[in-house]
């Protein structure tokens, strides 16, 4: 059996080595490389049981569901951001309209006192104050007095009406996306349960096989993600912040989510306001303990975007945990903690309220965010 384990390790190293010599610019082939590499690793096993195959299928389906959930919640995030901008613009325009109405009312009063009774008749016949304010008769009167504000009123009123219609459409789309996100959250929970049930129902030998193969799968995914990100960074002549750190650079690192999590490489995915995703979203049950990945000093905080957050400061690198359900009560902000200490609990606070509970985790050496996926992929079950 030890010979087989050595053989599997050799196969894995050979595959990673082959991937390391893929030329820059070949990132389009990466997905195919991942599939072929995983197939080779799987074929090299002498314990590819039906239980493992079923577990792997559930994991693959779960990753697809997480990818779709990220897409939907990203659309939702953008819509909610757009709605906020629309409401702000409409509020500003409504303030402008009120000021311009006063100018129009003064004009109507002056027109009446100077004999402009036709304008007053138009005021009584208008279906609304808006009809009166944008009526041609009032605009003609304004033009004769060179009151340009009424021209602006007409333009502002039209734009405000258009924005209100857009707002209604966006709010309707939000309802659709919220429902879809809810379905994906339920699917994600179901797939996670299926994978756990498959593992729990497997024999002891099958569980050992799943554990060994799952570890190799994680290490392979981490190595491929690291190489892919570095190739993309090199091809674009940019810094390697997207690449993240190799496992050798983080010895003794703890998985930030106690017991592991479900997650995908979502570095750089679009977010509202033109932002890009600068972390990894790690899904598990609400109130799952979150632990310090290394020794360091903690700071607890809260903001509207991330909700409850914990910063872990360690030797020039900041580890950022956010969307927490709550902070621990047995330690204080500013306190020094050792690796493995619980420093928060997983939730969906802040703008993550439309998603299932998860940790948004970042690694920031010298305050510059790098892709944490290769690191957590290597260390998290």
Which long-range CB contacts under 8 A does 25-29 form with residues at least 24 apart?
25/231, 25/235, 26/231, 27/228, 27/231, 27/232, 27/235
- φ, ψ at 17 (rounded to 5°): -65, -40
pTM over 0.85: no
Domain boundaries along the sequence of the chain = 86-177, 244-381
Class of domain 244-381: mainly beta
- φ, ψ at 201 (rounded to 5°): -85, -10
How is residue 231 annotated by DSSP?
H
Rounded distance between C-alpha atoms, residue 243 and residue 320, angstroms: 18
Q: What is the pLDDT of residues 341-356, one digit of tens each?
A: 999 999 999 888 777 7
The pLDDT of residue 93: 67
The pLDDT of residue 74: 78
Which long-range CB contacts under 8 A does 325-328 form with residues at least 24 apart?
325/286, 325/287, 325/349, 325/357, 326/287, 327/300
- The residues of the chain scoring below 70 in pLDDT are 1-49, 93-94, 96-101, 103-157, 160, 163, 232-243
DSSP 149-207: HHHHHHHHHHHHHHHHHHHHHHHHHHHHHHHHHHHHHHHHHHHHHHHHHHHHHS-HHHH
Which of 21, 15, 71 shows the shortest CA–CA distance to 230? 21
Q: What is the pLDDT of residues 82-96, one digit of tens each?
A: 777 777 777 776 676
Provide the b/e sequence for 152-169 (b: ≥16 CB within 10 Å): ebbebbeebeebeeebee
How crowded is residue 91: how many other Cβ atoms within 10 Å of its Cβ? 11
**239 class by beta-carbon count within 10 Å (0-12 exposed, 13-18 middle, 19+ buried):** exposed
The Cβ-side half-sphere exposure at 245, using a 13 Å CA radius, reads 18
Which of 101, 147, 156 shows the shortest CA–CA distance to 123? 101
The pLDDT of residue 17: 34
> Tokens for 63?
């990753």
Strand 296-303 vs strand 307-314: parallel, antiparallel, or unpaired? antiparallel
Which of 319, 307, 313, 311 shows the shortest CA–CA distance to 358? 307
The pLDDT of residue 206: 83
């Amino acid at each position: 059996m030890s010979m087989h384990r050595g053989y599997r390790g050799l196969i894995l190293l050979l595959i990673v080595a082959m991937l390391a010599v893929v030329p820059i610019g070949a990132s389009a082939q990466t997905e195919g490389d991942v599939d072929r590499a995983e197939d080779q690793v799987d074929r090299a096993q002498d314990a590819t049981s039906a239980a493992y195959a079923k577990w792997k299928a559930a994991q693959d389906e779960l990753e697809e569901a997480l990818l779709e959930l990220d897409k939907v919640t990203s659309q939702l995030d953008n819509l909610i951001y757009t709605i906020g901008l629309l409401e702000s613009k409409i509020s500003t325009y409504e303030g402008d309209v009120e000021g311009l109405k006063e100018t129009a009312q003064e004009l109507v009063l002056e027109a009446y006192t100077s004999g402009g009774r036709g304008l007053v008749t138009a005021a009584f016949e208008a279906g609304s104050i808006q009809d009166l304010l944008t009526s041609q008769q009032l605009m003609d009167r304004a033009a004769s007095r060179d009151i340009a504000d009424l021209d602006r009123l007409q333009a502002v009123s039209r734009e405000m009406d258009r924005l209100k219609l857009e707002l209604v459409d966006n709010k309707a789309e939000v309802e659709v996306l919220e429902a879809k996100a809810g379905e994906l959250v339920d699917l994600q929970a179901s797939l996670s349960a299926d994978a756990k049930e498959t593992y729990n129902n497997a024999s002891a030998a099958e569980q050992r096989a799943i554990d060994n193969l799952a570890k190799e799968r994680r290490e392979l995914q981490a190595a491929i993600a690291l190489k892919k990100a570095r190739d993309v960074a090199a091809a674009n002549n940019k810094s390697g912040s997207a690449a993240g750190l190799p496992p050798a650079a983080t010895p003794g690192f703890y998985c930030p989510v106690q017991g592991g999590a479900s997650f995908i490489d979502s570095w750089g995915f679009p977010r509202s306001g033109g932002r890009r995703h600068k972390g990894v979203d790690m899904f598990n049950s609400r109130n799952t303990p979150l632990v310090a990945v290394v020794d360091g000093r903690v700071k607890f905080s809260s903001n509207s975007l991330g909700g409850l957050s914990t910063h872990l400061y360690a030797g020039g690198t900041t580890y950022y945990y956010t969307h927490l359900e709550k902070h621990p009560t047995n330690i204080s902000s500013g306190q020094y903690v050792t690796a493995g200490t619980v420093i928060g609990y997983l939730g969906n606070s802040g703008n993550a309220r439309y998603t299932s509970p998860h940790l948004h985790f970042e690694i920031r050496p010298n305050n510059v965010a790098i892709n944490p996926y290769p690191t957590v992929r290597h260390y998290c079950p």
